[in-house]
Each structure stands twice: as C-alpha cells, then as structure tokens.
C-alpha cells in the first residue's frame, strides 16, 4: 500500500510541471493570471464532481453540516499560494521563489509529522529523518542557485518580508493537505473532499479576481480568447485535482514529509524534461550539473525520510 502512495505522490508532483505549462497558456489566452487560475480551479471542481458522481460518493456531502467549519477551509490555501506566486516571481525571481516554496513545504511537513498536528500521525524526527529533511532543503537551494530564473528586484529592507511570504506560501500546501485529510475522515470518501476543496478554492480565487479588478485595475479575463488555445491548456485543472487528492490521501498513509518530498521530487524530475525539450511551448533551458545534484539530493532526502 505504501508503494502505491509513493508512486501516486511522484506522479502528482510530475503533473505540477504539466500544470505550469498549461496555466501559462491559459493565462496568456485570457490575459489575466487571476482569471486563469479561477478557470483552472473551476475545471478541477467539475472533474472531481464527475468523479464523485461516477464513484457513487456524492451523497457523502450531506454530512457537511456536522463537520467543523475549519475542516472546509483547505481550499483557501490554493488561492493564497497562487497570489503569492504572482507577487513573488517578479520580485525574487521564479527559480528562487520555487526554491523557497520547496523549503516551506518541507519545513511544514516535518513539523506536522514531528508534532502530530492536524490529525497527522506523530512520527518524531530521528537522525535519518532529520538528515533527509536537510538533504531536501540542500537540494532545493542547489536547484535555486543553478539557474538564472530572474534576479531580485527588491531592496534589502523588504527582502526578508518577501522571503517570509514565499516560505509561508510553501508551508500552507502541507497544511491544506492535512486539513483535507481531516475532512476525508469526516466524510469517508475522497472525491467529495476534492469537490469541497476545489469549490472553496474557486470561490476564493474568484473573490481575489474581483478585488484585483475593482481595487487595483487588473484586466478583465478575455474568455472568448480560449477558443484559440491548445487543448492541453486545459490540463491544469486535472493536474491540480490529482495533486490535491494525492496529498490528502497519502499523508495519513506515509506521513506528511514523505508525501510532500516525493511530490517535490516528481515535480523536479518532470521539470528537467520540460526544460530540456521545451514542452508546452516553454523555453528550453540547459540542465546545469548543480541542478542535477539538487534533484539527486531531493531524491536521497525523501528516501531517508521515508526510511523512518
């Protein structure tokens, strides 16, 4: 059973590389990153709703009235993470931001495991787990340093605040998975949990879009333009739904740090192929030895974490 969740975590992480390319196309088509994200989340909601109907678990949603309200809030993390990426990429650079996101995910997942927070089974850190966590963080740093992903455009006075935001944006993803796992325990079926999570995420992102247009003059999404977009531009919703499902179902089985670590490793392995061959109309990028070393450190780290 553990092998199944390891494979699912790797696959879900790999799909994040697909999601990045698909969302870039969708954002280009509609002319709004906020609008593109809301659309992507809406597509994910519909896919999960169809899956819930097909699996025969939709009636479990009737139990929502007995669920603590905060168990329904996992989807808000998706909107927070997306807004953070939009704010951080122009300021810290894409590669540095992603490295900080990985660090935030790893630190939060290790804390969830060590302290047994939010229903995650407690697994106090031993030497292999701590060594693995440090290896993952070192790998994230190597990946961030290996490529020019855009330089920083912020002054020293605000740099620490943006770094803190990046770490927090990464940290909310394991927390989201833990909260969704609690909702899974409440409802007893995975697909209804995904539906709720994505409905909340879509509503949150729609609110962000409305605020961005009303308060900051953000452009209105050009929905008619999606007709000329490649078909794979719609894969972001599928990729996101698979990732969220893998995280909250895998966390109780193999632990927060393991499921997050394998997902990160899958993402980086797939990203190597996307960068090398320029898939999804993304620019080709070389693969420096330091980045390969960083990915190797990630794989070694998650292997050590899984060992405990």
Range of the structural domain that residue 113 is part of: 2-307
DSSP string, 50-70: HHHHHHT-GGGGGGGGGS-GG
Provide the token pair at 29.
């088509």
pTM over cut 0.85: no
Which is higher by pLDDT, 87 or 73?
73
Distance CA 64, CA 61 (A): 6
Taking only the tens place, the pLDDT of each residue in 111-134 is: 898 888 888 888 777 777 778 778
DSSP label at residue 45: H
Query: pLDDT tens digits for 210-263?
Result: 998 988 888 888 888 788 888 888 888 999 999 999 999 998 888 888 888 888
CA distance 196 to 72: 7
Q: At what angle do helices 190-216 and 33-55 cross, to 10 degrees?
A: 160
Q: CA Rg, the chain, in Å?
A: 19
Q: Higher-confidence residue: 156 or 229?
A: 229
Number of domains in the chain: 1
Mean pLDDT of the chain: 84
> Greatest CA span in the chain, whole angstroms?
55
Residue 227 CB burial class (10 angstroms; 0-12, 13-18, ≥19): exposed
DSSP 8-state assignment for residue 104: H
Alpha helices in 217-255 (DSSP H): 235-254
Instruction: Of 5-14, 178-187, 296-305, give the lowest mean pLDDT range.
Output: 296-305
pLDDT of residue 154: 53
Cβ–Cβ < 8 Å for 192, 74: no
Res 155: pLDDT: 57
Checking if the pLDDT of 153 tops 60, the result is no
Task: Give me the numbers of helices (H) and strands (E) for the chain, helices first please.
Answer: 10, 0
| Cβ 89 vs Cβ 108: under 8 Å | no
At 124 the three-state DSSP class reads coil
Please answer whether residues 77 and 177 qualify as being in contact, where contact means their C-beta atoms are separated by less than 8 angstroms.
Answer: no
Lowest mean pLDDT among 86-95, 96-105, 193-202, 275-284: 86-95
Res. 148 pLDDT band, cuts 50 70 90: low
Distance of CA 65 to the CA centre of its chain: 28
8 Å CB contact between 10 and 266: yes
27 near 33, Cβ under 8 Å? Answer: yes
At a CB cut-off of 8 Å and minimum separation 6, what does 250 contact? Answer: 5, 8, 9, 258, 259
48 pLDDT higher than 60:
yes
Mean pLDDT of all residues in 78-87: 84
Provide φ and ψ at 153, rounded to 5°.
Answer: -125, 30
Q: Quickly state the pLDDT bin for 144 (edges 50, 70, 90).
A: low
149 pLDDT more than 70: no
């Amino acid at each position: 059973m553990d092998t199944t969740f390891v494979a699912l975590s790797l696959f879900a992480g790999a799909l994040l590389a697909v999601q990045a390319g698909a969302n870039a196309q969708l954002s280009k088509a509609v002319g709004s990153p906020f609008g593109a994200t809301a659309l992507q989340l809406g597509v994910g909601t519909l896919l999960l709703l169809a899956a819930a109907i097909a699996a025969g678990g939709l009636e479990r949603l009737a139990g929502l009235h007995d669920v603590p309200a905060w168990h329904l809030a996992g989807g808000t993390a998706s909107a927070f993470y997306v807004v953070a990426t939009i704010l951080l990429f122009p300021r810290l650079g894409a590669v540095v931001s992603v490295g900080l996101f990985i660090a935030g995910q790893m630190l939060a997942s290790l804390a969830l495991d060590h302290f047994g927070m939010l229903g995650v089974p407690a697994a106090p850190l031993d030497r292999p787990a701590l060594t693995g966590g440090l290896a993952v963080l070192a790998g994230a740093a190597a990946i961030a340093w290996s490529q020019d992903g855009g330089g920083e455009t912020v002054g020293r006075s605000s740099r620490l605040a943006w770094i803190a935001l990046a770490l927090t944006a990464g940290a909310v993803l394991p927390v989201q998975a833990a909260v969704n796992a609690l909702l899974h325990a409440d409802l007893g079926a995975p697909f209804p949990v995904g539906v709720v999570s994505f409905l909340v995420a879509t509503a949150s992102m729609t609110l962000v879009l409305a605020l961005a247009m009303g308060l900051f003059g953000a452009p209105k999404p050009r929905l008619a333009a999606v007709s000329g977009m490649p078909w794979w531009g719609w894969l972001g919703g599928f990729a996101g739904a698979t990732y969220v499902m893998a995280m909250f179902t895998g966390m109780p089985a193999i632990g927060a740090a393991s499921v997050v670590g394998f997902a990160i490793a899958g993402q980086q392995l797939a990203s190597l192929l996307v960068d090398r061959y320029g898939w999804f109309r993304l620019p080709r990028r070389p693969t420096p030895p330091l980045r390969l070393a960083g990915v190797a450190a990630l794989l070694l780290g998650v292997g050590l974490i899984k060992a405990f």
